[in-house]
Structures are given as structure tokens and as C-alpha cells.
Amino acid sequence: MTTADHTAPEQPTGRDRPVTVAVRGLTKTYGHGAAEVAAVREVDLDVHAGEVLLVMGPSGSGKTTLLLMLGALLRPTAGSIVVTGRDRRRVEIATTLERELPALRANTFGFIFQDYALLDALTATENIAVAANIAGIKGTAANRRARALLDRVGLAHRAAARPSQMSGGEQQRVSVARALANDPPVLLADEPTANLDASRGRDLSRLLRQLADEDDRSIVIVSHDNRLREVADRVLWLEDGRFKTLAGLVVDPVCRMQVEPTGPHVDWEGRTLWFCSEGCRTEFTADPQRFVAGGD
């Protein structure tokens, strides 16, 4: 008698996985005529199931505008955004009627914000249950889901605590649990570690990686935080509303952001050092050894 092979099939990885979000020619402009400003310019992007995509870039580069358009919170000026839901149904966000957008957001996206955006009058459980209610999960079912999600992010013991009674790291984990209340195929995170110290920021990064791996969930993060590189499948650089390749970029020795070697710079001990702004260059010239100690 032959023995059945129960080896699990190899899971698809990277670009072999289905596309959850497909963006083509995405553009957002503000103003008209001579005052027109393009925040995002003809961006093309595919986000895959189970992928953590990190979008970095200088302040004002269009990162948050891009994220708001992906989450159907801001209408693009031109281009298309096609999202594939859990039911495999494809929806074109840019052409969806305004009255249909709230339901689309409630069932397709989870949002994680820099400032947590929790309601302080509600407990952790209640904050998550409200999001479940919006997604159509009511009553005791919403409370059960909230408690299960708190357990998943390691905060079951804080179920009755209000935001003002929690640390920043705990509040952000509650906000992650809230973002999962509707079991969205796509999580969108805007500077999720900006208000966290190094240890808690890395903990949150690992949690996001875990959610992508275990749930096959797409996660798009916009951030300046280099710690998030450790968990990202891809890092894209957005500047002046367009994606640029990381090749050829250099690290600002003050803020550690990657920048193009075309802006403010100084010549120091035989090297040319580039900065994201005049502020960083001024800070460097005041005390170079602080930023290049040990040859860094």
C-alpha cells in the first residue's frame, strides 16, 4: 500500500501572488492654471496579497495623498484603482459612486493612523466593536470579535481600559485590532510607528509582518521610519509625486532619510555628503562628529 503524500503545496510568494490593488496612471492635482500643483503624477502600482509594501519619501512628496486615494478617502484627478475583495470581486474605486464609497471602505480597507484616532470615551473593546458595527457585525458578535482581536495583538488584559489609560504602544495595537474588525483584504498605515520608541516601533513592525503572512493580507505603509524596512517585501521611493528607484539614492547623515544627490550638500574629509534640507545641513555643520562618528 502506498503512503499518501500529505506535504502541503508550496505557497506562492512575491509577484506570484494575486494582485489585490492595481493602480494605473494615478494622478492628483490641486488648483488650476498657473496655481496647479500635482501631488501624485501618473503612478502605476500593483500590491500583492500577503505583501508588506513600504512607501518612503521626503515630506510633501505625495505619500499621504497616495494612501488616501488607495483607501477611497480622496478622489483621484485621473487614473484607476482596482481593488479585489475577499469575495474576489473587483471594484474600480475611481468610478464608484460617492454614496457607495462608505460601504466599500467599511468592507475593503483597514486604516491605521499615526495618532491612533481612538475614542477616549470608549474602552479598547468598544473602540473595536464600533468598527465591527460599521462593517455589519452587531451586538454580542461585535464584542466577541473585538475581544478575539485584542487577544491576537496581545492586549486581552486591556479590554476594559480606555485610551488615556494605555501607553502609546498599546493604543497603536488597539488601532491595529480596530483596523482588522472588518477583516479587510488591505491594510493602509500612515506613519504607524512615528509616535513610538524604538522597541515598540519594532514590535509593531513585526506585528504587521505577521498579519500579512498569516492572513495573506496586503499592507501598504507610508513612513519615514527606516525600521519598517526590516519587515517590508518592497520599498518604493516617492518624490515629487512619482516613484523613483532606490539605486542612486544616498543617506542623509542627520535624519537618515534616503535622498537624491542633487540638493543641499557639504564636502567633508574628502566625501560629499547630501541632505534632505538646509535644516539638516545646518545641523550637520554645527557638529559633524555627532553624525559621522566611527566612519558612518
pLDDT in tens, 143-201: 999 999 999 999 999 999 999 999 999 999 999 999 999 999 999 999 999 999 989 99
Q: What was the pLDDT predicted at 16?
A: 66
Within a domain: residue 7? no
Q: What is the pLDDT of residue 164?
A: 96
Q: Per-residue pLDDT tens for 36-45?
A: 889 999 999 9
Find out whether 143 and 223 touch, Cβ atoms under 8 Å.
Answer: no
3-state secondary structure of 59: coil
Do 195 and 269 have their domain in common? no
Pair (263, 130) in one structural domain:
no
Which conformational region is residue 272 in: left (phi greater than 0), alpha (psi within -120 to 50 degrees), or beta?
A: beta
Predicted local confidence at residue 5, as pLDDT: 39
- Read off the pLDDT of each residue in 216-230 and give the average, rounded to a whole number: 91
What is the distance between the alpha carbons of residues 222 and 280, in angstroms, rounded to a whole number?
22
Question: Do 174 and 125 sit in the same domain of this protein?
Answer: yes
Exposure class string for 106-123: b at 16+ Cβ within 10 A, else e:
bbbbbbbbbebebeeeeb
Residue written as grid cell 494575486: 18
Express as a percent the part of the chain with pLDDT over 90: 64
Same-domain pairing of 214 and 285: no
Which pLDDT score is estimated for 175? 97
Q: Give the three-class secondary structure for 7.
A: coil
Written as nine digits, the cell of 88 is 474576489
End-to-end CA gap in the chain: 64
Confirm whether 31 is domain-assigned: yes
Q: Are 29 and 198 in contact (CB under 8 A)?
A: no
Query: Is the pLDDT confidence value at 3 over 60?
Result: no
Residue 1 lies in a domain: no
Q: Say if residue 136 is in the same domain as residue 272.
A: no
Closest CA to 230 of 205, 198, 196, 200: 205
Same domain (yes/no): 84, 27: yes
Residue 24 belongs to what H/E stretch? Answer: strand 19-30
Same domain, residue pair 113 and 238 = yes
**Number of structural domains in the chain:** 2
pLDDT at residue 76 is higher than 90: yes
Residue count of the chain, please give it. Answer: 296
Question: Are 280 and 163 members of one domain?
Answer: no
- The helix/strand/coil state of 200 is helix
Mean pLDDT of the chain: 88
Residues 260 and 160 grouped into a single domain: no
Nearest to 239 by CA among 228, 227, 224: 224
Ramachandran assignment for 285, one of left (phi > 0), alpha (psi -120 to 50 degrees), beta (any other): alpha
* Full domain range(s) for residue 256: 250-295
Helix, strand and coil percent figures for the chain, each rounded to 5? 40, 25, 35
Question: Would you say 128 and 178 are in contact if contact means Cβ atoms under 8 Å apart?
Answer: yes
Cell of 183: 477583516
Give pTM, 2 decimals.
0.80
